[in-house]
């Protein structure tokens, strides 16, 4: 089964309103309080052991997606033996993994070795409207735990560990592995899909005549921004193989005539100068503080040179740089 299958675009043409910030903050606070209560319900040594052992769930769920089990299960109960035969897996081994996940409330078990997905795991299916199949594949890939296992090295040296164990940077490494690259960008697309609407409504993008989405993937976030702010124009910048998939997204949101698509390397190529706001969302993977703080690369310098002055940032006010981390955002000048 092809693990890089694209998730169909099924977002509405309209952009939903952002939820009240107070409600979101309260929900997060309540969630943390309930989690703290769960931790206190067992002796601390067992709680600690369970926390460290939790990694097996990510690996198990990743295996279900990677091997096609999640798509095969669906919401109707199916026999582990039938699935194993259909997917050419070991029936007993598959049953044991499914039973362990069911015990933790991640699957439904109906007896006679029959299982189905539940509300939590239904998004493992690639056809689910809120599918997280690529994100699960990305987080459970060998690459991620391999890097985290070298955290002691990073704590000793203060440096990132990727370059000390690979002969190229992560982006070049992904470029050389099309399937891994597709999974990574699929994961970013899924993440953007779930937060693009509220994000687009939560910042006054309409105050700017143009928005540049650096490393914007297939344009889902930029499409939401432009749909929510019809007076703004947009520029999408990412790898050629990624932006090539942006046309259907912009067409669905009816913003094609207000978008310029540029293929380029975020860390090597300077973006178009003189735009209103530069947007970066979940793209500084592995970048150190110096690299991250220098983005957009060369924007102010090129703007100054275009105006015929010396290449200094003081002669061209730096546009706002909007960065998103998880559920929070910030704007710095």
Residue 279 banded pLDDT, cuts 50, 70, 90: confident
Statement: residue 265 has pLDDT above 50: yes
Q: Which of 39, 37, 65 is nearest to 54 (CA)?
A: 39
In 156-232, DSSP assigns E strands to 210-214
Name residue 330's beta-bridge partners: 323
Higher-confidence residue of 80 and 300: namely 80
What is the average pLDDT value for the chain, to the nearest integer?
81
pLDDT in tens, 109-140: 998 999 999 999 999 999 999 999 999 999 99
What value, to the nearest 5°, has the Cα angle with vertex 192 and ends 184 and 210?
Answer: 115
Write the pLDDT tens digit of every residue in 24-36: 889 999 999 999 9
Contact 67, 85 (CB under 8 A): no
The pLDDT value given to residue 242: 86
Q: In this structure, are residues 188 and 219 in contact, taking their beta carbons and an 8 Å threshold?
A: no
As a whole number of angstroms, the distance between CA 321 and CA 283 comes to 13
pLDDT for residue 287? 67
d(C-alpha 275, C-alpha 226), whole Å: 15
Q: Which residues pair with 324 in a beta bridge?
A: 281, 329
State the distance between the two ends of the chain, measured CA to CA, in whole angstroms.
47
Among the ranges 162-176, 189-203, 215-229, which has the highest mean pLDDT value? 215-229
pLDDT given for residue 327 in this prediction: 30
pLDDT score, position 71: 95
- What predicted TM-score, i.e. pTM, was given to this entire model? 0.76
In the predicted model, is pLDDT for residue 252 greater than 50?
yes
Helix, strand or coil for residue 214?
A: strand
């Amino acid at each position: 089964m092809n693990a890089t299958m694209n998730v169909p675009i099924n977002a509405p043409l309209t952009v939903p309103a952002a939820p009240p910030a107070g409600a979101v903050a309260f929900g997060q606070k309540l969630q943390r309080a309930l989690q703290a209560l769960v931790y206190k319900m067992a002796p601390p040594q067992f709680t600690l052991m369970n926390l460290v052992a939790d990694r097996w769930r990510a690996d198990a769920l990743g295996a279900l997606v990677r091997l096609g089990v999640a798509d095969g299960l669906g919401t109707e109960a199916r026999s582990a033996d039938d699935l194993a035969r259909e997917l050419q897996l070991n029936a007993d081994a598959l049953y044991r993994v499914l039973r362990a996940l069911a015990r933790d409330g991640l699957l439904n078990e109906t007896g006679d070795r029959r299982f189905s997905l539940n509300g939590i795991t239904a998004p493992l299916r690639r056809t689910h409207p809120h599918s997280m199949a690529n994100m699960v594949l990305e987080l459970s890939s060998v690459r991620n735990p391999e890097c985290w296992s070298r955290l002691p090295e990073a704590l000793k040296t203060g440096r990132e560990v990727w370059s000390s164990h690979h002969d190229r940077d992560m982006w070049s490494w992904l470029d050389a592995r099309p399937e891994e690259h597709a999974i990574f960008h699929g994961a970013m697309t899924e993440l953007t899909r779930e937060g693009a609407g509220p994000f687009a409504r939560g910042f006054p993008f309409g105050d700017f005549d143009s928005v540049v989405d650096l490393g914007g993937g297939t344009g889902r976030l930029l499409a939401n921004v432009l749909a929510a702010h019809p007076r703004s124009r947009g520029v999408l910048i990412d790898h050629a193989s990624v932006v090539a998939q942006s046309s259907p997204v912009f067409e669905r949101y009816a913003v094609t005539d207000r978008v310029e698509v540029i293929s380029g390397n975020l860390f090597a190529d300077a973006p178009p100068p003189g735009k209103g706001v530069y947007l970066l969302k979940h793209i500084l993977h592995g970048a150190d503080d110096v690299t991250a703080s220098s983005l957009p690369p060369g924007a102010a310098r090129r703007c100054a040179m275009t105006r015929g002055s010396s290449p200094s940032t003081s002669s061209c006010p730096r546009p706002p740089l909007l960065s998103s981390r998880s559920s929070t955002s910030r704007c710095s000048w």
